[in-house]
Amino acid sequence: MSRSREEGFIGPWQGAILLWFSELPTALLFLPALIVSRAQQDAWMSVVLAIVFTLPLALLLGWLLYRFPGRTLFQVAETVLGKILGKAMTLFYVLAFVQWNAIVLREFGEFLVAAVMPETPLIVFTVTLMVLAVYAARNGLEVIARSAQFILPLMVSFFLIVLVLATPKMSLRNLFPLLEGGLGPLLLGAFITLGSTGEIIVISVVGAFLQQPEGVKRSLILGLAGILFFLVLGVMGGVLVFGACEAGRLTFPAFSLARVISIGNFLERIEVLFMAIWVGGIFIKVTLNLYIAALGLATAADLREYRPLCAPLAALVVVLSVWLFDNLTGVLFYLEQVLPVWALLWQWTVPAALALTAVIRKVEGSRT
Q: What is the 3-state secondary structure (H, E, C) of 182-239?
A: CHHHHHHHHHHHHHHHHHHHHHHHHHHHECCCCHHHHHHHHHHHHHHHHHHHHHHHHH
* pLDDT tens profile 15-47: 999 999 999 999 998 999 999 999 999 999 999
Region 289-313 average pLDDT:
95
- From CA 169, how far away is CA 256, in angstroms rounded? 13
- Residue 163: which of 109, 266, 239, 110 has the closest Cα? 239
Q: What is the mean pLDDT of the chain?
A: 91
Rg (CA), the chain: 20
For position 34, what pLDDT does the model report? 94
- From CA 23, how far away is CA 5, in angstroms rounded? 25
For position 31, what pLDDT does the model report? 93
What's the chain's length in residues? Answer: 368
Q: What are phi and psi of 126, to 5 degrees?
A: -65, -45
> Burial level of 308, CB count in 10 A (0-12/13-18/19+)?
exposed
Q: Name the DSSP letter for residue 344.
A: I
Domain boundaries, the chain: 12-354
State how far Cα 334 lies from the chain centre.
Answer: 15
- Local confidence band at 364 (pLDDT 50, 70, 90 cut-offs): confident
* pLDDT tens profile 44-73: 999 999 999 999 999 999 999 999 998 999
* pLDDT tens profile 124-175: 999 999 999 999 999 999 999 999 999 999 888 888 888 888 888 899 999 9
Instruction: Give every CB contact of residue 130 below 8 A, 6+ residues apart in sequence.
Output: 105, 286, 290, 314, 315, 317, 318
For position 170, what pLDDT does the model report? 92
Instruction: Give every CB contact of residue 55 below 8 A, 6+ residues apart in sequence.
Output: 224
Check whether domain 12-354 has CATH 1.20.1740.10, yes or no: yes
pLDDT at 4 over 60: no
- From CA 62, how far away is CA 56, in angstroms rounded? 10
- From CA 99, how far away is CA 321, in angstroms rounded? 8
- From CA 230, how far away is CA 329, in angstroms rounded? 25
pLDDT at 3 over 50: no
Asked whether 297 and 306 are in contact (CB, 8 A), the reply is yes
Instruction: Give every CB contact of residue 168 below 8 A, 6+ residues apart in sequence.
Output: none
pLDDT at 2 over 50: no
Q: Name the DSSP letter for residue 304.
A: S
